[in-house]
Amino acid sequence: MTVVKVECIRGNIAEQQDMDVIVNAANAELLPGSGVAGAIHSAAGPGLAEECRALAPIRPGQAVISSAHELPNQHVIHCLGPVYGVDEPSDRLLAECFRNALLLADRHKLTSIAFPAISTGVFGYPLQDAAAVAMKAVSDTLAELNSVRLVRFVLFSDEDRKVFEQALELESGLS
């Protein structure tokens, strides 16, 4: 079985130079926005929004792939997370984001993928619950991956990183 490393770091998702693909916590229209989407679009330059126009709109749980433009990565995968309490069932839709992004990266023969904490900002998903969903989704998808070797969660604060680290330790399929 393929060995996949899962790690949690504190950092900026738009500054993951060593990763093949970074994941955007997008809006349905794939427009720049705030938070993760703002950071990714401003680092990528206007070409990203232009390319994204043809890929939008997307629905909760869906993942689409684009070029990375001026970012140091090969690609960006855009996921629309659920708005907590609105898009239901939110846990299944959030899990689909991680699963669909991993499978898409794998289909593109990419080896490393960096995720932000999708839905936990503007979309209001409680961080601890989101971390558990994320780790279980990665664990449940591992057996289907051929190319991906490194999954990195990039959290904006050390406090958030600790929450994800704990969820990683609790997800037995990943240890």
Binding footprint of ligand AR6 on the chain (CB under 6 A)? 12-14, 25, 27, 33-37, 39, 81, 116-123, 154, 156, 160
Using the minimum distance from each CB to ligand AR6, give the nearer residue, 55 or 142.
Answer: 55
- Residue 84: CB minimum distance to ligand AR6, A: 8
CB 111 within 8 A of CB 94: no
Using the minimum distance from each CB to ligand AR6, give the nearer residue, 83 or 142.
Answer: 83
- Residue 81: CB minimum distance to ligand AR6, A: 4
- Residue 159: CB minimum distance to ligand AR6, A: 10
- Residue 104: CB minimum distance to ligand AR6, A: 17
Instruction: Kindly give, in sequence order, each residue whose CB lies less than 8 Å from that of residue 101, ignoring residues fewer than 6 positions away.
Output: 23, 63, 77, 79, 113, 115
Using the minimum distance from each CB to ligand AR6, give the nearer residue, 98 or 156.
Answer: 156
Using the minimum distance from each CB to ligand AR6, give the nearer residue, 2 or 42.
Answer: 42
CB 78 within 8 A of CB 66: yes
CA distances from 40 to 52, 53, 93, 137, 174 (A): 13, 15, 22, 24, 28
Using the minimum distance from each CB to ligand AR6, give the nearer residue, 41 or 145.
Answer: 41
Say if residue 126 is preceded by a cis peptide, omega within 30 of 0: no
Token pair 């093949």 is at which residue? 20
State the Cα–Cα distance between residues 1 and 16, nearest whole angstrom: 27
- Residue 160: CB minimum distance to ligand AR6, A: 6
SS3 of 89, please? coil
